[in-house]
Structure 1
Amino acid sequence: MKTDEAVSLVKAKLPEKRFNHSLRVAETAVKLAEIYDGDKDKAELAGILHDYSKYDDLGSMYQMVRQYDLDSDLLSYGSEILHGPVCAVIMENQFGVTDEEVLLAIKNHTTGRAQMSKTEKLVFIADYIEPGRQTPGVEEIRDLAYNQGSLDNTIYEISKRTVLYLITKDITVYNATIACLNYYNYSDERVKDD
């Protein structure tokens, strides 16, 4: 799928605010790809498409989980977790997106996972730090991403903050997010304080 096709597809489906967010994620992912020698085209495409299913009907998303044999644990979660994996199967099966890195970046942009590809890392981080985000502490994460030279450190900090936030709100943490946190806590590429 070409970038202009992806933009048209997303623009036709998403509310303007979410569409603009998707464009900012794509732009941020491209900036990060330039810094970390990633594939700008893959990062941009995944960034544009990542929230395509954000507002899909929950019942339809559960059907997609069953139809495409996705992780059955997803059936215990709402659209915040489901929209990434569902979007990835829609992009592959309905729109012919075949690039595995792009599909994985879409699938895991919210939860992360252990051993992410570079494109996954770029989109995961971009979704968290795009300029429209005002999450408390986001400036520290932006500084890590843009100035500290480690995707793995940034992923660890995002995962840690996400897990802590969910725990304080008594929200169940998806297993891939825990795996992401644990993996990047011990990553050889993560710069640890002594």
Structure 2
Amino acid sequence: MKIEQAVALIKDKLPEKRVTHSLNVAETAVKLAEIYDGDAQKAELAGVLHDYCKYDDLGTMYQIVTSRGLDSNLLSYGVEILHGPVAALIMQETFGIDDEEVLLAIKNHTTGRAQMTKTEKLVFIADYIEPGRQTPGVEEIRELAYNQGSLDKTIYEISKRTVLYLISKDINVYDATIACLNYYNYSDERVKDD
């Protein structure tokens, strides 16, 4: 799928604010790809499409999880977790996207996971630091992503902050997010950098 087609797709489905966010994520992912020698085209496409199912009906998403054999643990979570895996499936089945890196980046942009591909890393970070985000502490994460030279450290910091936030609100933490936190806490890159 060409970028123009992806942009048209989200403009037809998502509210303007979410379209702006998606375009910001795509642009940020491209900047990160340039810094970290990633595939800018894959990162841009995944960035544009990552929130395609953000506003879909929860019941419909549960049906997709069940009927398509997605991880049954997803049924314990809401739209915040479900929209990534469901969007990846729809992009593959309905729109013919078959690039595994793009699909994984869409699928895991919210939760992360252990052993992410570079494209997944770029989109995961871009979703957190895009210019429209005003999360407390986001400037520190931007500094880490743009100037400290480590995708893995950035992922660890994002995962840590996400888990701490969810715990502080008594919200269940998805297994893949814990695996992401643990993996990037003990990865070879972090050990070498410390």
TM-score by length of 1: 0.98
* CA deviations over 1:39-82 (Å, ceiling 9, x no partner): 00000000000000000000000011012111100000000000
Shift of 1:99: 0.2
3-state SS of paired residue (2:188): coil
* CA deviations over 1:104-127 (Å, ceiling 9, x no partner): 000000000000000000000000
Alignment of 1:101 onto 2:91: no
Alignment of 1:184 onto 2:184: yes
CA distance in 2, matches of 1:118, 1:188: 16
Shift of 1:193: 7.0
1:45-124 matches, within 5 Å, as 45-124=45-124
1:65 touches 1:86 (CA, 8 Å); kept in 2? yes
3-state SS of paired residue (2:179): helix
CA distance in 2, matches of 1:154, 1:45: 22
1:20-59 matches, within 5 Å, as 20-59=20-59
Alignment-derived partner of residue 15 in structure 1: 15
Partner amino acid, structure 2, of 1:2: K
CA distance in 2, matches of 1:6, 1:159: 28
CA distance in 2, matches of 1:67, 1:37: 38
CA distance in 1, matches of 2:193, 2:120: 25
Unaligned runs of 5+ in 2: none
Alignment-derived partner of residue 144 in structure 2: 144
* CA deviations over 1:65-104 (Å, ceiling 9, x no partner): 0121111000000000000000000000000000000000
Partner amino acid, structure 2, of 1:104: L
Q: 1:84 to 1:31 in 2, by over 3 A?
A: same
- Aligned residues, how many? 194
CA distance in 2, matches of 1:67, 1:101: 24
CA distance in 2, matches of 1:192, 1:130: 28
State percent identity of aligned pairs. 82
Unaligned runs of 5+ in 1: none
CA distance in 1, matches of 2:168, 2:18: 26
Shift of 1:189: 1.4
1:153 touches 1:191 (CA, 8 Å); kept in 2? no
Shift of 1:190: 2.1
CA distance in 2, matches of 1:180, 1:17: 28
TM-score by length of 2: 0.98
CA distance in 2, matches of 1:190, 1:6: 35
